[in-house]
Structure 1
Amino acid sequence: MAKKSRVARPKGDLERELREQVDLLEHACKSFDSGMEAIGKHIALSLRVLLHHQRQSQALLEQLGLRGGYFYDSAGPLNPRNLLPECNLVLMRLAPSGAEYLPLVAAGEPPFPPKLVPFADWWNEPVLKDGKGRILSRRELVANVADTDGGAHVDPELDEAYMELSRSNSLGWIFQVDDATNPPKGRPELACMRQIAHEVLLTLRRRHPKLFASESGNGV
């Protein structure tokens, strides 16, 4: 079979696609904040479209020359002296009904102002360390959710560290009520997706405010 011809998309077409992808990401974030936790998988897929650039998969921001530069980092680096599990993209909130994993943005103001870091560092440096000392970067978290765990595909096997993070509370965070000890409710990997999306939207708002010209309010 003859190979079908392909034509380059004009820049205006890619710019329109970026506006649509930003709209989709914002709406998914609002749905997550309203209690639809599973839409974190769609957040991961939008992040992949915008950011993942490898071989035949070309990130939309890369195609537009926008993936470089500096991105907002709300988590900061892992503490090399900390022997305990660590993930500063999420928090554990206590309530009368128990505790739950939430993205850092759910607390309002972060414990320290987000810093601007080079994209390659932001994307590839570790942001999570589990109870066995295994580390994951934003890139790895997004890829696991989007590529294997319901974003674009459902794989029959999952990366071991990701599997234990998402199913077995490998962060090891717990809360105690009376004599009962329990893990927080919710899915930490999807809370991470929401927080990473917050960082991306914050970055794009600063660098490309016209993408958000039709917004009312403070966004997500």
Structure 2
Amino acid sequence: MVKYKRKKDELKEYWDDQINFLIREVNEFDNGSENEARRIASCLRILLHETKYSKSLVGQIGINLIYFSSSSFYNPANLLTSWTLLTLRLGPDGIQYLPNIIYDKDSRYFCYTFDDWWNEVIFDDKSNVFTRKDIILFVANNDGGAHVDPELKESFFLLSKQNSLGIVDNFDQAPENNPIYQAVRSIAEEFLISLKIREIGLKTRKQCKDKTFEMRFFDDSRRYKWSSTEINVSEEIMEIVNQHRVEDRKLYLQVLGNGMKVEFVGK
């Protein structure tokens, strides 16, 4: 069968459509329609996800991005569960998960290559870890974004329905909203900020040679950032960290077109 290769202007039209859809759905989510996370996830899958048989829109158009992460440092030895893209709000109606989309100018944020960002651990309920990729593909492929599965994988069922993160308020009540949907909103915000960084433009990049960074791997893809110069931990914790395969990274100070500086973790 003869296949027609799409022209650049066609791909650009699809790109513009998906970005406009994403912005509209983000606004709907922020106005209270949290189920819009399903459509947000579908947009992000189209824009970002690649397989052996399909290419992402980012890849087809050839857009070069560094990916902004709002995730804090993750410690696999922490006895408590981790949710690095969320915050909590305690109000008169109980406790709620919120997306971490209000950034403190005094906090530290990093940018990554796509693979490190997409596969970074953002949830750890002490039984399973979940990455951005895991969350987006689950919502898009199984939870109503583009398809509804009749059954849920146990790990996602526990995370989304059974409070496997173990968060409760003073009355021992769990949050009523879905942490997975809030994480989807956070991931969308990170991606939109990554686009803004690209619009500003990249200038010089200087390596911070006095700082060591690395990626630690749970398996072939799931990973977390680590630094022996930025994180001070006990020997016992390092024994746990050292169980995970390591790949070296370098920390750069990336200057943007407007003079703003961001920290970029790359190879």
TM-score normalised by structure 2 residue count: 0.71
Q: Which amino acid aligns with 1:85?
A: T
Question: What is aligned with 1:183?
Answer: 174
Are 2:83 and 2:123, in contact at CA under 8 Å, matched by a contact in 1? yes
CA apart distance, 1:113: 3.6
Counting matched residue pairs gives: 201
2:61, 2:103 → 1: CA distance?
32
Match for 1:48: what amino acid?
R
**Aligned equivalent of 1:170, options 160, 164, 181:** 164
Once the two structures are superposed, the pairs formed by residues 20-35 of structure 1 within 5 Å of their partners are 20-35=17-32
**Counterpart pick for 1:93 among 75, 85, 89:** 89
Q: Does 1:149 align with 2:143?
A: yes
Q: Which residue in 1 is equivalent to 2:40?
A: 43
Q: Secondary structure at the match of 1:202?
A: helix
| 1:136 positional shift | 0.6
Pair 1:117 & 2:112 matched:
yes
Q: 1:13 aligns with which of 10, 15, 31?
A: 10
- Runs of 4+ in structure 1 deviating by more than 4 angstroms, as ranges, are none
Q: Deviations over 1:104-162 (max 9, x none)?
A: 11x45377243111111100121110142x10110011111100111100012222211
- How far, CA to CA, are the matches of 1:11 and 1:209 in structure 2? 23
Return the structure number with greater relative CO, CA threshold 8 A, min gap 6. Answer: 1
| Larger-gyration structure (1/2) | 2
Q: Distance in 2 between matches of 1:136 and 1:101?
A: 17
Residues 108 and 33 of structure 1: CA distance in aligned 2, closer, same or farther (over 3 Å): farther
Secondary structure of the 1:181 match is coil
Change (3 A) 1:110 1:82: farther
- Matched residue SS, 1:116: strand
The unaligned stretches of length 5 or more in structure 1 are 211-220
Listed as ranges, the gaps of 5+ residues in structure 2 are 202-267
Q: State the AA in 1 paired with 2:37.
A: G
Structure holding more strand per residue: 2
Amino acid at match of 1:147: N
- Does residue 103 in structure 1 map to residue 99 in structure 2? yes
Q: Residues 52-108 of structure 1: CA distance to partner in whole angstroms, max 9, x if unpaired?
A: 100223211011122x54200101342133121001111111111211111011x45
Output the CA distance in 2 between the equivalents of 1:49 and 1:208: 21
Amino acid at match of 2:189: H
Counterpart of 2:78, as a letter, is: N
Partner letter of residue 29 of structure 2? F
CA root-mean-square deviation: 1.8
Percentage identity across paired residues of the two chains: 35
Task: Considering fraction of residues, name the structure with more helix.
Answer: 1
Larger mean CA deviation between 145-154 and 49-58 belongs to: 49-58
Deviation at residue 208 of structure 1 after TM alignment: 3.5
Tell whether the 8 Å contact from 1:101 to 1:186 is kept in structure 2 after alignment: yes
Cα distance in 1, alignment partners of residues 109 and 28 from structure 2: 24
How does the TM-score come out when normalised to structure 1?
0.86
Cα distance in 2 for partners of 1:18, 1:89 equals 26
